[in-house]
Amino acid sequence: MDYKTANHVFDPNGNVAGWDEVRTWCIEVTNASTLAVDIEVTRAFEVPYWTLNPGDGQPAYEKYDATHARFKLSVEPRSKRVLDYTVTTYHGERQATYLKTEGARR
């Protein structure tokens, strides 16, 4: 996992008024059974203002609700599967940037 903040916005007094939090996750799923399994991995974010970028070759995700993303994947018998993604959450005044971007997509 990796964590950083970026795109800091300051108010006229020099105080932080907004920022992005960028987190990279790597989740390893192991299937110890002799049968293939389909699983769902649901991840929660603390704010409803987020974007998610799956890694190369990763399954698509669905926006389950305002603060959750859900991945659906299959894991072959006696094997492992790695799920990696980067999520950016927008805080303070940076939420307006998210709303403009999402509004343009719709």
Do the beta carbons of residue 40 and residue 60 sit within 8 Å? no
pLDDT digits (tens, 9 = 90+) for 14-37: 999 999 999 999 999 999 999 999
Report the C-alpha gap between 67 and 43 in whole angstroms.
Answer: 8
Rg of the chain over all Cα atoms, to the nearest angstrom = 17
Report the C-alpha gap between 80 and 20 in whole angstroms.
Answer: 32
The answer to whether domain 2-105 has CATH 1.10.20 is no
Using the structure block, give the residue that is written with the tokens 């974007």: 51
pTM of the entire structure? 0.84
Mean pLDDT by 10 residues, the chain (106 residues): 95 96 96 96 95 90 95 95 95 91 64
Domain ranges of the chain: 2-105
Q: Residue 78 in 3-state DSSP?
A: coil
